[in-house]
Amino acid sequence: MILSDFQIAQLIEQGMVENHLPELINPASLDLRLGNTIMIESAASHDMIPVDISKSSRDQPYELVPGQFILADTMESFNMPEDIAGLFFLKSSRAREGYENLHAGYADPGWHGSTLTLELKNSRQLQRLPIWPGLKIGQMVFFKMSAIPATSYAVVGHYNGHLSPTASHVPK
């Protein structure tokens, strides 16, 4: 079952989402904003390099070049209840502008103490795309589980307690 606006608001009051704004609650989702840090590729290393974009703004944005892939974080951080899951979707207006989300934004029940890491790409071929902290990039849809899982992500998860974009923990 997808949760409605008042159910999302109640869960936020109970601590499910921190650093949110009430006006970001939609009828069946919560808008999410880009945070202050992105991670970019470097020709010198296989590892993604953190970049602080906190001084970027709508008037002076950081620009993604055509085809560029980044990891980014959200301003909002999450403490998912044991019976609630979430799925991230790019805002349709962002998709129409050429932003692409690689559909890995899933919030398991029990995931906690973390901002959401987004896998974003500029799909445009000729134009740069602007980003800045606070840009409404997507929305989280929340689902009520039919039962509390036997194993919580709070116990088995690899991405709990991360407050900045997090690269893959899978060994190379």
User: Residue 156 domain-assigned?
Assistant: no
For residue 72, give the CATH number of its domain: 2.70.40.10
User: Residue 33 domain-assigned?
Assistant: yes
Q: Count of CB atoms within 10 A of residue 147's CB?
A: 7
Residue in the block written with tokens 């009828």: 27
User: Residue 171 domain-assigned?
Assistant: no
pLDDT (mean) for 159-167: 52
User: Residue 11 domain-assigned?
Assistant: yes
Interval 86-110: pLDDT, tens: 999 999 999 999 999 987 778 889 8
The total number of structural domains that make up the chain: 1
Looking at residue 125, its amino acid is Q
Please list, in sequence order, all residues whose beta carbon lies within 8 angstroms of the beta carbon of residue 89, skipping any fewer than 6 positions away: 29, 101, 105, 138, 139, 140, 141
| Of 28, 26, 39, residue with least CA distance to 117 | 39
- pTM attached to this predicted model: 0.89
Please list the active-site residues: 119
| Of 120, 139, 145, 146, residue with least CA distance to 62 | 120
Least confident interval from 68-77, 125-134, 153-162: 153-162
User: Residue 168 domain-assigned?
Assistant: no
Tell me, what's the pLDDT at 113? 78
Interval 28-80: pLDDT, tens: 999 999 999 999 988 877 788 999 999 999 999 999 999 999 999 999 999 99
User: Residue 35 domain-assigned?
Assistant: yes
Tell me, what's the pLDDT at 149? 77
The whole domain housing 73 covers: 5-145
User: Residue 158 domain-assigned?
Assistant: no
User: Residue 23 domain-assigned?
Assistant: yes
pLDDT (mean) for 98-127: 89
8 A C-beta contact, residue 49 and residue 42: yes
